[in-house]
Each structure stands twice: as C-alpha cells, then as structure tokens.
Amino acid sequence: MLAQRVILETDQTGKLSELPQLPPNRRVEVIFLLLDDATEKPQHRRPHPDIAGKAQILGEVFSSVPETDWLPQP
C-alpha cells in the first residue's frame, strides 16, 4: 500500500481548484480532513480541574536544571 499526502484547495464555491495526477486503472481511497483556517486563535490550554490552582513554584525553575536540558535534542 502506498500513501501520499496531498493538500488540495477549493474555490469560492467549494469545488477543487486542481486534481492530482493518479495512476491509471487503480482504485483510490480518499479521506478528506478539513484543515483549520490559520487565522483562528489557538485554543487556550487549561490544567485539569483536579490539579488547577494546586501547584506551587518554589524557586527559579529555569536554573533548577542545566541549560542543555532545556534545548531541543537534534
């Protein structure tokens, strides 16, 4: 099975602007996932109600571990 991700765009009427080239004489399964509009605000994250407001920060969190632990790993 071969999978390929293709992002298609629609016009003002909802019709596909361009169709991808497909292999001849094959069956194709298509699943449409609507991508969120980039202009929407990201959802505000909140802690679970069971732990909300119960945490205490006792000191400087950034200096509690070496700076290299805060950097993303390659």
How far is residue 26's CA from residue 42's CA, in Å, rounded to a whole number?
Answer: 40
Predicted local distance difference test score (pLDDT) of residue 23: 87
Write down the mean pLDDT value for the chain.
81
Using a cut of 0.85, tell me whether the model's pTM lies above it. Answer: no
Structure-token pair, residue 53? 């407001």
Answer for the pair 46, 52: CB distance below 8 angstroms, yes or no. Answer: yes
Predicted local distance difference test score (pLDDT) of residue 64: 72
Structure-token pair, residue 47? 């802690």
Maximum CA extent, the chain:
66
How far is residue 23's CA from residue 36's CA, in Å, rounded to a whole number?
Answer: 29
Helix (H, G, I), strand (E, B) or coil at 16: strand
Predicted local distance difference test score (pLDDT) of residue 73: 67
Predicted local distance difference test score (pLDDT) of residue 45: 83
